[in-house]
Structure 1
Amino acid sequence: MTGFSTRAIHAGQEPDPATGAVITPIVASSTFAQDGVGNMRSGYEYSRSANPTRTALEECLAALEGGSRGFAFASGLAAEDTLIRSIAKPGAHLVLPHDAYGGSFRLFAQVYEPWGLRTDPVDLTDLAAVEAAIRPGETVAVWVETPTNPLLSVADIAAIAEIAHSLGALVIVDNTFASPYLQQPLALGADVVMHSTTKYCGGHSDVVGGALVVADPALAERVQFHQNALGAVAGPFDAWLVLRGLKTLAVRMERHSDNAERVAGFLAQHSRVSEVFYPGLESHAQFDVAKRQMLRFGGMVSFRVRDGEQAAVDVCGRTKVFTLAESLGGVESLVEHPGRMTHASVAGTALEVPSDLIRLSVGLEDVADLIADLDQALSG
């Protein structure tokens, strides 16, 4: 199976041998009968360790990202936590994006730093700064988020991987905004891919989940141990919902990208908008990098309003088709004010976002309706 959509629909999802069901069953059992003491039937004993529905999702994710193993978790942050505990110990050092997702920054700054993990936030678009921040023998990984949330900067994965590997560090890529369809970090040299499967992988705003896909089998063994030891696994119904979402990922990402490109172009011409952040605009600082490593440019658009923070808050409150809500990646369009919502945890830090910034998750509605909604909200 070589085509992306063929893998999304079939990888890890053979018809059920007992019934012939073409859709993977939801195996809700917490425990499994054994054929004699220590003789597990098909390798299953207890659902924290492994569950057939979760296995199907993990095999599908590995196939889509081109990794040796996939792992499904209860949330994106649970995936991050398991990975960090698999590769780092107190005293280790990690390089972070200077505009990372606020939840990731909270985890690193308020959980791991007291635990003894040292971090340095760096502008990952500055390759010299990345190289300077890596401490050979101490830096375990460079954490890459591309495009970033919410400023949509784009890091050169291949270039960072070359630098990091030459200095003995792993490269981890949060691929949530792009999805496996639009970007393949492992093929560009990354070691691990992370997802909040809540977002585009699930795609319908009805599940919370996370995932890791690992290139190296030895590292995958360590991740598997920590996944079982820490226990923050995806439940069977959540795994089934993400697996269902993956089947339509390619067609959804094409429509998300079509709509977002139109929305970004509209905003770039609007008199009340001072700046638009979208990798598909030629004005974007990393447009050439994005064009080289992404298939399309995705469904996320951020922009700044000319009249300041309150004006941005007011625009968010006037939309009718765009729903005021956190999260992203669902079929419905969402609008939010990062400074007061998703990124409030980084206020007063080096990662603080502009107060006049609005973030859009552009959904699958008719694009004319989306543009009209933004026009009336900006003109109100």
Structure 2
Amino acid sequence: MTILVTGMAGFIGSNFVYYYLRRHPERRLIGLDNLTYAGNLDNLSRLTEEEKKRFAFIKGDICDTELVDRIFSENEIDGVINFAAESHVDRSIHDPQIFLKTNILGTQVLLNAAKKHWQLPDGKWRSLNSREGEETRRDHSPRRTNNEQRTTPKFLQISTDEVYGALGPTGFFTEKTPLDPHSPYSASKASADLIVKAYHDTFGLPVNITRCSNNYGPYQFPEKLIPLMINNALNHKPLPVYGDGKQIRDWLYVKDHCRAIDMVFDDGQSGEVYNIGGHNERENIYIVKRVIEILREKTGDGEINESLIKHVTDRLGHDRRYGIDPTKITQELGWKPTIMFDQGIEMTIDWYLNNREWVEGVISGEYLEFYNKNYKI
């Protein structure tokens, strides 16, 4: 199988490439990424020589219709996994337009290409050339409840729990929760989800949508909460906390997310949405204090303490609480999180402590200038 993975140089995308190539040694990935500020090919520098033979990188924009069509024309694409997105809420408040362009129009360009190259003249969908046996494909259980194997290509849209809006102090998001986005970012992702659904409902395009809770782990750009706090604390800089810091998020270690995506791509029922949550709800202020505590223990640096915390004006339209109910993916596909927060946060902090050069390179922006010069279509 050959799968087009968009946004593969970002945080979740790069973690997925490592996971997938090692999980499926018989498959090939084509990565498409525009290498904006959050995309970094250094994220994939640890691929083995064997893995590199099954991975091809193309620099480009998912909004580029001609490029996307050429990728499909020159490769027998068996599936699309769309990670590509502008994803930072604060940036969407400052400049909504780029979010609407990339997240909505870019998704539509990919859907059009998939429909064009996968749909046969009689309206049916191209069959996959072959399917691997059960024992070589995966070892997790149970499989799809009806025990059928997928025989057509598939478009998998990676979305977010933020499309559901905010929760009160109780309850959880399910796949039936109405969409109620509150930021330009989440509105653009909700719009993209609806377009994906429309291509399934109108044309029959085989699709799935996954909506995950907050991810954390290696290679996350240091504008997001956990890596920002780690980096600022190590440099004795203020740790900005919105409002009272009591906003609650459900935290999911990125490898658990990658495993869920793998399962949905192969075994998810076409047209279905699957929520992916970590069962790890924490207040933001707890996260910040826990990062301080662990860093102080690991570094012995007494200047890393709670005096660095600085409460700042709350974000516009800031949702108070998110919480995911992953019952559907657990019951249908057998997925459940394996890394709880106390373990995951230590693993994450250890990674950032052991990869300070990566952080410095990302912040400096030197990698972006280099790759823009050296990777052109």
Please classify the TM superposition score into its range, dividing by the shorter chain length.
0.3 to 0.5
Task: Tell me the TM-score normalised to structure 1 length.
Answer: 0.33
Task: Tell me the TM-score normalised to structure 2 length.
Answer: 0.34
Higher relative contact order (CA 8 A, sep 6+): 2
